[in-house]
């Protein structure tokens, strides 16, 4: 019940233990097609270039920036937690000139801030984190994406923690590049990063002047393997793709709307239970994540001792705060399989015990 990896359904674990197929085997190629189709359904997009990068969520972040950026490009990045900060670092390593739009940890990036940053600037892209895993805040994307499109820039979105846990509507919102992780609300083990590029973003990547600085993440090469040609690029993590295939099947079987609702309901149960104990959610009211709850550590409690006690006595992992929130919050994940009414009761009971 930390910030990920979340629990995984037994059928997903079983899927990984199937014997290996070759990465060019016709059966595996068929499975790749099904994964792409299901990912499009989960991202709510028609983007042809939708597939899992062979690395964890951070590799997906790097995938977006190395493919879209060339040295000297201007970018605007929203920073309201660890992952916004990481995007700045990654973009700078691509030689980009970064303008940061900052908000205090736990608060969202406001559309007005983006509008302000776009005044007199023509950045190549604007990037924000949808669900900040480090703070539990969900930044609304629709209005920001509209501003970015009007400014002629590409909109890049981190959906590592949002995908599968709350609405993510790529095409409706007009997102150009997106990456996610498997180990949060998709409830698949970590190791792959679902990504999607709009035709506009793909054109930017294919028409660039310089080669993409990463061979491993170059979409121009990956397109030949994940596209119709099936040209060998690298040996895909076969077993991880088995797991993702089954995890996506479960997401679609439950239905996106039903899944989002389940995440919302269990968040509200947790919040109400915490309130009874006099404990509050730390992140901005009205923008609190359902799947990842940043919980204010009560003044009298020993933050680390409580976490240790939960792990030792109840076999429950919850996360510590990061950066300015270190020692100030616990992060309780209710993501994917982990988001259940029973788990909410378990963690509330355990927390009550641990707080004495």
What is the spatial distance between Cα 255 and Cα 249, in angstroms, rounded to a whole number?
10
Nearest CB to its own copies, comparing residues 16 and 166: 16
Smallest distance from its own copies to CB 19, Å: 7
First to last CA, the chain: 20
Smallest distance from its own copies to CB 333, Å: 10
Nearest CB to its own copies, comparing residues 75 and 141: 75
Smallest distance from its own copies to CB 254, Å: 20
For binding to its own copies (CB under 8 A), which residues are involved? Answer: 2, 4-8, 13-14, 16-20, 22-23, 25, 54-59, 61-62, 86, 89-90, 92-94, 181, 183, 189-191, 211-216, 232-240, 243, 311, 317, 322
Q: Which of 355, 344, 354, 176 is nearest to 270 (CA)?
A: 344
The answer for 164, left when phi > 0, alpha when psi is -120 to 50, beta otherwise, is: left
Nearest CB to its own copies, comparing residues 201 and 240: 240
Nearest CB to its own copies, comparing residues 26 and 199: 26
Nearest CB to its own copies, comparing residues 61 and 256: 61
Smallest distance from its own copies to CB 332, Å: 13
CB 31 within 8 A of CB 39: no
What is the spatial distance between Cα 195 and Cα 178, in angstroms, rounded to a whole number?
5
Nearest CB to its own copies, comparing residues 3 and 111: 3
What is the spatial distance between Cα 77 and Cα 117, in angstroms, rounded to a whole number?
10
What is the spatial distance between Cα 126 and Cα 148, in angstroms, rounded to a whole number?
7
- Return all residues near 198 (Cβ < 8 A) that are at least 6 apart: 45, 47, 154, 170, 175, 176, 177
Smallest distance from its own copies to CB 29, Å: 13
**Which CA distances in Å does 351 have to 115, 138, 284, 307, 332?**
42, 25, 23, 9, 11
Smallest distance from its own copies to CB 4, Å: 6
């Amino acid at each position: 019940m930390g910030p990920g990896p979340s629990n995984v359904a037994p059928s997903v674990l079983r899927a990984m233990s199937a014997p290996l197929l070759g990465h060019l085997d016709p059966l595996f190629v068929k499975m790749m097609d099904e994964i792409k189709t299901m990912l499009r359904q989960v991202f709510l997009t028609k983007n042809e270039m939708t597939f899992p990068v062979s690395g964890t969520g951070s590799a997906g972040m790097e995938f977006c920036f190395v493919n879209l950026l060339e040295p000297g490009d201007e970018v605007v990045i929203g920073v309201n937690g660890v992952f916004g900060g990481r995007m700045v670092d990654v973009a700078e390593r691509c030689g980009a000139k970064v303008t940061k739009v900052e908000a205090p940890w736990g608060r969202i990036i406001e559309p007005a801030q983006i509008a302000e940053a776009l005044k007199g600037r023509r950045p190549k892209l604007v990037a924000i984190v949808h669900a900040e895993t480090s703070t539990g805040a969900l930044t609304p994307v629709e209005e920001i994406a509209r501003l970015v499109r009007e400014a002629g820039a590409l909109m890049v979105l981190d959906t590592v923690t949002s995908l599968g846990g709350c609405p993510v509507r790529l095409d409706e919102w007009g997102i150009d590049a997106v990456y996610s992780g498997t180990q949060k609300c998709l409830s698949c083990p970590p190791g792959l990063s679902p990504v999607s590029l709009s035709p506009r973003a793909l054109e930017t990547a294919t028409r660039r002047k310089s080669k993409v600085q990463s061979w491993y993440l170059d979409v121009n090469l990956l397109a030949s393997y994940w596209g119709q040609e099936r040209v060998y690029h690298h040996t895909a993590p076969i077993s991880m793709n088995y797991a993702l295939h089954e995890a996506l099947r479960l997401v679609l079987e439950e239905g996106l709307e039903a899944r989002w609702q389940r995440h919302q309901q269990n968040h509200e149960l947790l919040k109400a239970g915490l309130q009874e104990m006099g404990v509050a959610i730390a992140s901005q009211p009205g923008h609190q994540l359902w799947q990842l709850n940043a919980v204010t550590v009560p003044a009298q409690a020993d933050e680390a001792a409580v976490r240790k006690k939960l792990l030792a006595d109840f076999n429950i992992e919850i996360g510590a705060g990061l950066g300015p929130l270190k020692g100030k919050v616990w992060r309780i994940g209710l993501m994917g399989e982990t988001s259940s009414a029973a788990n909410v009761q378990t963690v509330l009971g355990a927390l009550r015990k641990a707080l004495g």
